[in-house]
């Protein structure tokens, strides 16, 4: 017998792949709002017109970060203050449109945004369509309509691009859960919730853990376990020592891969030295772990990190270089880390970090950080400005840098 959430999501996918619209309601402890949603590949002027006349909110186009990057859709602002972190990009219209705002023109723009071979020069900026960038791990990372819409597109095995519009009541106020149910029934439109999608994804997207192996190192003898959710991607590594299953908080380093620092011992950053220091601390305590996340260059990848290095040599700091390349200053997320910890039965940690964002993200994801353990490395001639930028712009908790 199928789980109810599975049945609901499968029914939603069937509706969407017929070109129909559905309603997605988010959590009652979040915004408690609902959006009409359709798959961008199946958009028509009729569905756009129905959405803007019946839902009456702002028509937006959620998409994966990969699509947004290819299309040159940079974030609208680099330091957004939106309470829910909605990742708006610059607005756009396809150059084939005239007014840009008609249902026909908006459908044209949406369809072109979803095409796998579309290029930046096909679009004007600003325009009448508002793209949104989804977080990498979808609703398992951020429980927003943006992520829900892109997750549904991915599950449907179509382009990871959708179109959504918030639902207002006739009096102009926001439609809440009770109102959404009535609207769905009256329009014979399927309604799902973000919570149901989260449950579906957790059931369908189990992490695979490879058998544990021994990892003797110059810092001590450790165990190594690899976790994978996609055979096409490099696994996340858990390097640990001792029994992690006891109730005592685990000493943990959440380390983002840095090939230049970890392997080549680059002095442009403190990454390699932090990894070494973490392993040394774990060896001394006899119990602890390093979660090695494949998030090179704060999530922009090795090639783009090298491009950022080049910009830094031209006078940009590490934040400015990332944003100049069209990325957020820091694109890393720790939802996968939280899932691995939860799968291992770890809920309380003593985190080796100088980065308050790691603490905030893990806390929001249900991991309790009982203690922050500083991991400060003395500045070198080559990384002093890098550390100054981390302290000034990322608010890293560094005492020695000025």
The residues carrying an active-site annotation are: 330, 332
Structure tokens at 93: 């219209």
CA 159 – CA 92 distance, rounded (Å): 18
Cα dihedral 356/362/363/368 (nearest 10): -110
- Say if residues 164 and 36 touch (Cβ distance below 8 Å): yes
Helix residue ranges per DSSP H, 286-383: 296-299, 302-313, 318-324, 335-343, 356-364
Binding residues: 253-258, 269, 271, 274, 296-298, 318, 353, 358
Is the bond preceding residue 126 a cis peptide, omega within 30 degrees? Answer: yes
Q: Which two tokens stand for residue 43?
A: 């958009």
Report the binding-site residues for Zn(2+): 258, 269, 271
Long-range contacts of 272-281 (CB under 8 A, 24+ apart): 273/377, 274/352, 274/375, 274/377, 276/219, 277/352, 277/375, 277/377, 278/253, 278/352, 278/375, 279/217, 279/219, 279/220, 279/222, 279/239, 280/219, 281/251, 281/352, 281/373
Task: State both tokens at 100.
Answer: 């840009």
> How many angstroms separate the CA atoms of 291 and 358, rounded?
13
Joined tokens for residue 246:
């006891």
Backbone angles phi, psi at 117, to 5 degrees: -110, 10
348-352 and 250-256 strand pairing = parallel
Q: Cα(314)–Cα(337) distance, rounded to whole angstroms?
A: 35
């Amino acid at each position: 017998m199928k789980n109810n959430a599975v049945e609901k999501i499968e029914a939603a996918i069937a509706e969407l792949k017929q070109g129909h619209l559905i309603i997605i309601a988010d959590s009652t402890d979040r915004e408690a709002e609902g959006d009409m949603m359709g798959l961008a590949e199946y958009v028509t002027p009729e569905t756009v017109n129905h959405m803007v006349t019946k839902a009456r909110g702002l028509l937006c186009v959620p998409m994966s970060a990969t699509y947004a990057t290819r299309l040159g859709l940079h974030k609208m602002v680099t330091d957004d203050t939106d309470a829910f972190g909605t990742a708006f990009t610059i607005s756009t219209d396809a150059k084939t449109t005239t007014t840009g705002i008609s249902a026909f023109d908006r459908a044209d723009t949406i369809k072109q945004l979803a095409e796998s071979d579309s290029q930046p020069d096909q679009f004007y900026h600003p325009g009448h369509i508002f793209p949104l960038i989804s977080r990498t791990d979808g609703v398992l990372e951020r429980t927003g309509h943006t992520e829900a819409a892109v997750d549904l597109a991915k599950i449907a095995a179509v382009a990871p691009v959708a179109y959504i519009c918030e639902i207002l009541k006739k009096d102009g106020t926001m439609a809440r859960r009770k109102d959404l149910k009535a609207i769905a029934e009256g329009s014979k439109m399927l309604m799902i919730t973000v919570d149901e999608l989260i449950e579906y994804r957790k059931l369908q997207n189990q992490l695979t853990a490879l058998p544990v192996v021994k990892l003797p190192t110059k810092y001590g003898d450790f165990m190594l376990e690899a976790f994978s959710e996609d055979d096409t991607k490099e696994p996340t590594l858990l390097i640990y020592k001792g029994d992690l299953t006891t109730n005592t908080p685990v000493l943990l380093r959440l380390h983002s891969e840095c090939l230049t620092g970890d392997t080549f011992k680059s002095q442009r950053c403190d990454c390699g030295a932090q990894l070494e220091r973490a392993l040394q601390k774990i060896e001394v305590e006899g119990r602890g772990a390093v979660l090695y996340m494949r998030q090179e260059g704060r999530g922009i990848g090795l090639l783009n990190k090298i491009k950022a290095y080049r910009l830094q040599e031209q006078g940009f700091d590490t934040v400015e270089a990332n944003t100049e390349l069209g990325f957020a200053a820091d694109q890393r997320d720790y939802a996968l880390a939280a899932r691995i910890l939860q799968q291992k039965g770890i809920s309380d940690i003593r985190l080796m970090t100088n980065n308050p964002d790691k603490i905030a993200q893990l806390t929001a994801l249900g991991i309790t950080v009982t203690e922050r353990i500083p991991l400060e490395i003395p500045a070198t001639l080559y990384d002093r400005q890098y550390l100054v930028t981390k302290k000034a712009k990322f608010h890293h908790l560094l005492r020695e840098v000025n």
